[in-house]
Every structure is written in structure tokens, then in C-alpha cells.
């Protein structure tokens, strides 16, 4: 598991010749730390960082709001057609994401949102998988708490945010982390819906090192290391919440 990360960091410190040498060079003969400075100067990575942070933050906040309220509705509220609607939503998870690219693009194009931040954020403000995972956790919380809160005059909305969410903190954090990682690493959708270089995110910005003349592997790996590092640190510090959240949701595998 660690070998790809080691190879990425090792290649980021090599000379151009060592990156394509055969047999492969595992340890650079001379560590070229200037590759990182050249990689950052090759494209407006400061702007890419800002775009990635903005898109990841807003899409994560939006997904959390929709996920928490939808999961609560399916877990604790009673309304007509609840089970049928939930089955339909779960059924959408069987549709490959690639099939939704063209319909989503056409929809956003008709709305005039192509090449805007909205195109990067709006389609990912909800996630059926997150709703399903959080619903499983909410269902483990006794209904007696809900009934007791209603007797004390607590409304559903207040009960959700003051009782349910704190009790399901591990699952909420797990959903948040998975969303942050997925949004930060997204490549295909940002590439399709953005034409302006100033709107592109970090994964798309890595294309700057691949041209018709070839790929600058040492600079590509240097930039990739910078892009991946925040997610590695985030995962290492918060991995226990991912494990706890998924285990409490009843998901296996």
C-alpha cells in the first residue's frame, strides 16, 4: 500500500533522466528539492488551491445539510410513500456515475451554469450513499428519546440538531471526511464543466505537466505530492471516525 506513495515522493526528487531510467531508480542519486518550486511556478497553483478549498468546503457543507435532514426524515418521521421513495433512491446507486455526466452537463448548460463555481458545487450537494449510511446510524437511536423530547415541547428540527446529531457524531464525521476526500480528488467533472483556467481545481491543474512533447514526471509527482498531502494528513488524524462511523452504520466489506 505504501509503495505508490514512496514512488511518488521519490520520483518528485529525481532528475528527468532518472524518472524514465531502466531499471527503475528507487532512490535519487541527488535530491532535487527545487522540483517543488518549479512545479508550483508552472501553473497558477495558488488559484487551484483556492478553488479546491472553496468547492470542497461548500459542497461538503451542502451535502451535510441535505444528508442529515434526509436521513432523519427516513429514520424517524412517518410520511406517505417513505419506504418506496427510499428504495427508489437506493436504486439510483446502481447507476454508474459516468452515465450521469452527459445529462448533468446538458441540464447545467440549459441553466447557463457551465464554467461557473455553481457547476462544480450544485450537482454534489446531495449523496444517496451518505443518506443511507447516516440513516442506519439514526435508526439505532431509541425512538423513546424522540417521544420524550416531543412531550417536553421539543420540535423535530431542534431534536435533530441538539440530540440526534451529537449522538451520531462519529457517522457525521465519517460522512464529512469521505466527502472532503472525494471532492478534493474529483477530476472528470471539473475538467468537463470548466473552460476558464482560473476556475479549475488541483487535480485538473496537474495536466499542466503533460504536453504534446511529453510528460515532466518529476514535476508532475512533485505537484501530486503537494495535492495528496493534505488528504493523507486528514485521513491519518481522523481515520478512527471513519471506522467508527461505518461500523455503527451496519455497513460491512
- Tell me what the mean pLDDT of segment 241-249 comes to: 59
Is residue 253 pLDDT above 50, yes or no? no
CATH number of the domain bearing residue 80: 1.10.3720.10
Rounded CA separation 121/56 (Å)? 8
What per-residue confidence (pLDDT) applies to 213? Answer: 55
In a domain, 176, yes or no: yes
The answer to whether 8 and 228 are in contact (CB under 8 A) is: yes
Using CA atoms, how far residue 135 sits from 75, 90, 247, in Å, is 6, 12, 13
In a domain, 49, yes or no: yes
CA torsion 247-249-65-230 (nearest 10°) is 20
Query: When comparing pLDDT for 220 and 73, which is higher?
Result: 73
| Number of structural domains in the chain | 1
Full residue range of the structural domain in which residue 138 is found: 44-202+226-248
In a domain, 108, yes or no: yes
Residue 251 pLDDT level (bands cut at 50, 70, 90): very low
In a domain, 19, yes or no: no
Nearest to 224 by CA among 31, 8, 49, 35: 8
Mean of pLDDT over the chain: 82
Share of the chain above pLDDT 70, in %: 92
Nearest to 128 by CA among 168, 70, 81: 70
215: its cell numbers:
510528460
In a domain, 8, yes or no: no
The pLDDT tens digits for 158-170 are 888 888 888 888 8
What per-residue confidence (pLDDT) applies to 241? Answer: 64
Rounded CA separation 66/126 (Å)? 6
Is residue 252 pLDDT above 60, yes or no? no
The pLDDT tens digits for 57-104 are 999 999 999 999 999 999 888 888 888 999 898 888 888 877 888 888
SS3 117: helix
Cβ-proximal residues to 114 (8 Å cutoff; 6+ apart), any chain: 105, 108, 193, 195
The pLDDT tens digits for 14-59 are 887 777 778 887 888 778 888 888 878 877 888 888 999 999 999 9
In a domain, 10, yes or no: no
Query: When comparing pLDDT for 150 and 245, which is higher?
Result: 150
The pLDDT tens digits for 125-140 are 888 888 988 888 888 8
In a domain, 3, yes or no: no
In a domain, 212, yes or no: no
Residue 214 pLDDT level (bands cut at 50, 70, 90): low
Amino acid at each position: 500500500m505504501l509503495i505508490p506513495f514512496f514512488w511518488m515522493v521519490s520520483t518528485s526528487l529525481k532528475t528527468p533522466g532518472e524518472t524514465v531510467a531502466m531499471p527503475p531508480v528507487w532512490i535519487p542519486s541527488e535530491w532535487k528539492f527545487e522540483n517543488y518550486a518549479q512545479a508550483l511556478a508552472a501553473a497558477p497553483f495558488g488559484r487551484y488551491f483556492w478553488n479546491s478549498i472553496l468547492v470542497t468546503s461548500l459542497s461538503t457543507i451542502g451535502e451535510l445539510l441535505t444528508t442529515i435532514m434526509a436521513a432523519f426524515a427516513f429514520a424517524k418521521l412517518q410520511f406517505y410513500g417513505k419506504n418506496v421513495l427510499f428504495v427508489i433512491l437506493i436504486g439510483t446507486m446502481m447507476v454508474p456515475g459516468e452515465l450521469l455526466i452527459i445529462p448533468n452537463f446538458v441540464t447545467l448548460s440549459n441553466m447557463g451554469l457551465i464554467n461557473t463555481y455553481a457547476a462544480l458545487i450544485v450537482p454534489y450537494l446531495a449523496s444517496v450513499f451518505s443518506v443511507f449510511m447516516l440513516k442506519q446510524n439514526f435508526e439505532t437511536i431509541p425512538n423513546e428519546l424522540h417521544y420524550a423530547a416531543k412531550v417536553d415541547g421539543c420540535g423535530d428540527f431542534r431534536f435533530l440538531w441538539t440530540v440526534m446529531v451529537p449522538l451520531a457524531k462519529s457517522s457525521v464525521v465519517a460522512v464529512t471526511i469521505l466527502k472532503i476526500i472525494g471532492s478534493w480528488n474529483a477530476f472528470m467533472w471539473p475538467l468537463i464543466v470548466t473552460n476558464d483556467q482560473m476556475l479549475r481545481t488541483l487535480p485538473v491543474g496537474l495536466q499542466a505537466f503533460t504536453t504534446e512533447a511529453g510528460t515532466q514526471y518529476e514535476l508532475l509527482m512533485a505537484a501530486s505530492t503537494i495535492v495528496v498531502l493534505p488528504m493523507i494528513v486528514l485521513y491519518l488524524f481522523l481515520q478512527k471516525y471513519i471506522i467508527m462511523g461505518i461500523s455503527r452504520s451496519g455497513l460491512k466489506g
